[in-house]
Amino acid sequence: MINKRKVLALITARAGSKGIPGKNIKFLAGRPLIVWTIAAARQSHYVDRLIISSDGTDIIRIAEEYGCEAPFVRPAALAQDDSSSMDVIEHALANLSEHFDYLLLLQPTSPFRTGDDIDCFLDYCIENDADIAVSVSKLKKHPMYMYRIENDRLVSFLDNGNVQLRRQDMPPAYEHNGALYFARIDRLLHERSFNTTVTMPYITEGVINLDIDTPEDWDYAELIASRMGSHL
């Protein structure tokens, strides 16, 4: 509990993965990818219950072996490429008889988030009276330098009026890094999104920002894990 309120940690992990087949149970530095997230959540001092939403029998089996509950199997209709994350969350909440105040959403693709990271994030959310908060990282390349191609020509995504701004004059830009999502459950069910006018940013730095989406990301994760060595 935190601030006398109950915290549900939900790991979402479907079986289908086109970029990296079997990604969630593929071994990273000696243990399945999903186990990294389970271990971090179990180290948290605030998480009251840890569950997984998955349609994969192997994912569920491994999750349970490492101390994560699997109180239901996610329906196939909610495990498609275009399935809504909010539908998955609502399905999970509807299948629990226990009441929780806060939701902590954790994605297995952020393996280097730790139990301390989780607790510091939750402390931040409570201290700042956040209804909804997400972890973000600072963009290395500012959106002002991003383009699309139209008729074989580069066209800026942002209309800057052809004004050439210096990098140091631009306000910092941030993106969701996928590591940490927090919400007061009643507010989230009302908003049906983590992207709202009240969403608070939690800025993170370092390896926690790695979100594994491509084979190149996986190679980088293996490099990081090998360098962490005995600290795993």
Q: How far apart are CA 31 and CA 226, in angstroms?
A: 13
pLDDT, position 147:
86
pLDDT, position 163:
56
Cα distances (Å, whole numbers) of residue 81 to 16, 73, 231? 8, 17, 35
pLDDT, position 158:
74
Q: Which positions ≥6 away from 10 have C-beta within 8 Å?
A: 51, 52, 53, 89, 92, 103, 104, 105, 106
pTM, 2 dp: 0.92
| Matching residue, tokens 């089996």 | 61
Run means of pLDDT, 10 residues per run, the chain, 232 residues: 96 90 96 98 98 98 98 96 94 97 98 98 98 96 83 81 64 94 98 97 97 96 85 50
Q: How far apart are CA 204 and CA 201, in angstroms?
A: 9
pLDDT, position 230:
42
